[in-house]
Structure 1
Amino acid sequence: MQRRQFLRHAGTMLALASTATLAGCARQAIVPNAKPTVPPRAAQLASGVAELAPVRAEVDRITGVYVCTRPFRAAGPRIELEKFGNKAVVHNYGHGGSGWSLSWGSSTLAVRMAQATGVRELGVIGCGALGLTSALLAQRAGMSVRIYAKALPPDVFSMRATGLWTPDSRICDAQHAAEFGDRWETMARTSYAMYQSMLGLPGDPIEWIDGYHLLDTTQGQQKDTVSDEPEYGDLSDRISDLGPQSVTLPVGSTPFPQPARRFSIMMFNITSYARMLISDFQLAGGKIIVREFNHPRELQALPEHTLINATGYGARALFNDESIIPVRGQTARLIPQPEVNYALNARGLSMVPRRDGVLVQVMGDTGNFNNSDLTPNRAASEAAVRQLADIMATMRST
Structure 2
Amino acid sequence: MQRRQLFAAAAAGIALPASALDFAPPRTPTAMRLQVDRLIDIAVGIRPFRAPGPRIEAQRLHGKTVVHHYGHGGSGWSLSWGSAQRALALLQAHARPGERIAVIGCGAIGLTTARTAQQAGFKVRLYARDRPPHVHSGAATGLWTPDSRIVTAEHASEAWCADWEAMARASFKLHQGYLGLPSGPVEWHDGYLVADHGFDAPLPNYAPHAGEPDYPDLAGRVADLRPRGQALAAHEHPFRHVQARRFTQLVFNIPAYQRLLLDDFARDGGELVQREFHQPRDWARLPERVIANCTGDGARTLLGDPHLTPVRGQTARLIPQPDVDYAVIYRGRNVVALPRRDGLLIAAMGEHDFGSADLRPDRAQAEDAVRRLAALFG
TM-score of the pair, normalised by structure 1? 0.85
Correspondence for 2:221: 238
Correspondence for 1:351: 337
Match of 1:163 among 138, 142, 145: 142
More off after superposition, 225-234 vs 312-321: 225-234
* Deviation of the 1:221 alpha carbon: 9.3
Mapped to 2, the partners of 1:126 and 1:242 lie a distance apart of 30
Counterpart mapping for 1:181-220 below 5 A: 181-217=161-197
* Deviation of the 1:50 alpha carbon: 4.8
In structure 2, do the counterparts of structure 1 residues 238 and 278 end up closer, same or farther at CA, with 3 Å as the change threshold? Answer: same
Structure 1 residues without counterparts, runs of 5 or longer? 1-38, 394-398
Percent identity between the aligned chains?
48
Structure 2 residues without counterparts, runs of 5 or longer? 1-18
Does residue 151 (structure 1) correspond to residue 130 (structure 2)? The answer is yes
Counterpart mapping for 1:79-158 below 5 A: 79-119=56-96, 120-158=99-137
Match of 1:387 among 358, 372, 377: 372
Counterpart mapping for 1:1-398 below 5 A: 43-44=23-24, 47=25, 49-119=26-96, 120-178=99-157, 179-217=159-197, 222-228=204-210, 229-257=212-240, 258-346=242-330, 347-348=332-333, 349-363=335-349, 365-393=350-378
Mapped to 1, the partners of 2:208 and 2:166 lie a distance apart of 33
* Deviation of the 1:110 alpha carbon: 0.5
- Read off the aligned partner of 2:179 and give its amino acid letter: L
Give the total of aligned pairs: 351
CA-to-partner distance for each residue in 1:175-197, whole Å, 9 max, x for gaps?
A: 11124212111110110000112
CA-to-partner distance for each residue in 1:206-241, whole Å, 9 max, x for gaps?
A: 000010011323879932334321111221121122
In structure 2, do the counterparts of structure 1 residues 135 and 155 end up closer, same or farther at CA, with 3 Å as the change threshold? Answer: same
Mapped to 2, the partners of 1:81 and 1:285 lie a distance apart of 25
Q: Secondary structure at the match of 2:292?
A: strand
- Read off the aligned partner of 1:354 and give its amino acid letter: R
- Read off the aligned partner of 1:340 and give its amino acid letter: V
Q: Is the 8 A contact 2:95 2:290 kept in 1?
A: no
Mapped to 2, the partners of 1:335 and 1:141 lie a distance apart of 40
* Deviation of the 1:42 alpha carbon: 7.9
